[in-house]
């Protein structure tokens, strides 16, 4: 259910991240990519003890800060992961294993638009890891980014996005707090994966 004008993602080419170990998926399972210092991840885990969150951060200093806070709180439903998200997702997650995905204030990649999440072939693979009716949440303070993401969701991925302004009182991430405090508008796009949505990776599992 995707357009054919995007190059095909090749998960078999990716090596496992350093020190990778296979995890036991718990349900309902959520994924946050680019967790930063963990503000949203920690709040989500505390507010949703019945849900399990995997929160991935690639930058070492941000991850160390996040991991230290997570250890102090001893949250059994939060897994902090220091890795590049793409190979980690390929090696760790099975098809339809995620109840939700968070992409909160990702790098807008102004010099390399092909690296924006909905522009990447990997996005199809990420969709294959989501369950039917699972929700993907994307937030940004850049209007052109959310406009492009909405267009790609509709035209490239054949999905029905819902875009709206983030409430001024929201404090999910350090970026969000900063942007809203200085009077900027932040946007959110929610995508629900429809029942019966198909990708080329629905049966693909890393061997």
pLDDT digits (tens, 9 = 90+) for 181-193: 999 999 999 999 9
Q: How many domains does the chain have?
A: 1
Q: Which has the higher per-residue pLDDT, 77 or 1?
A: 77
Residues 6+ apart with CB under 8 A from 23: 54, 79, 92
Give the Cα separation of 140 and 109 in Å (integer): 12
Backbone angles phi, psi at 144, to 5 degrees: -65, -30
pLDDT tens digit sequence for 152-172: 999 999 999 999 999 999 999
Structure tokens of 72? 């102090």
Backbone angles phi, psi at 77, to 5 degrees: -105, 15
Specify the pTM.
Answer: 0.93
Q: Say whether 132 sits in a helix, a strand or coil.
A: strand
Is the per-residue pLDDT at 68 higher than 90? yes
Residue 1 covered by a domain: no
Residue 3 covered by a domain: no
Backbone angles phi, psi at 87, to 5 degrees: -65, -30
Residue 151 covered by a domain: yes
Residue 113 covered by a domain: yes
Q: Which domain holds residue 136?
A: 26-192
């Amino acid at each position: 259910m995707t357009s054919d004008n995007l190059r095909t993602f090749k998960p078999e080419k990716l090596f496992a991240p350093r020190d990778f170990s296979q995890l036991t998926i718990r349900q309902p399972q959520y994924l946050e990519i680019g967790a930063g210092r963990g503000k949203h991840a920690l709040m989500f885990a505390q507010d949703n003890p019945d849900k399990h969150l995997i929160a991935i951060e690639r930058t070492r200093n941000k991850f160390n800060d996040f991991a230290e806070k997570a250890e102090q709180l001893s949250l059994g439903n939060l897994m902090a992961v220091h890795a590049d998200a793409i190979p980690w997702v390929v090696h760790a997650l099975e098809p339809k294993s995620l109840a939700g995905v968070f992409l909160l204030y990702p790098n807008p990649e102004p010099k390399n638009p092909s690296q924006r999440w909905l522009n990447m072939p990997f996005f199809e693979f990420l969709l294959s890891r989501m369950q039917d009716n699972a929700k993907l949440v994307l937030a940004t303070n850049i209007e052109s980014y959310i406009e492009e993401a909405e267009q790609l969701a509709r035209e490239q991925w054949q999905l029905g996005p819902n875009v709206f302004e983030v409430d001024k009182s929201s404090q999910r991430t350090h970026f969000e707090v900063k942007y809203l405090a200085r009077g900027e508008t932040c946007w959110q796009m929610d995508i629900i994966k429809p029942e019966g949505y198909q990708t080329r990776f629905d049966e693909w599992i890393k061997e």
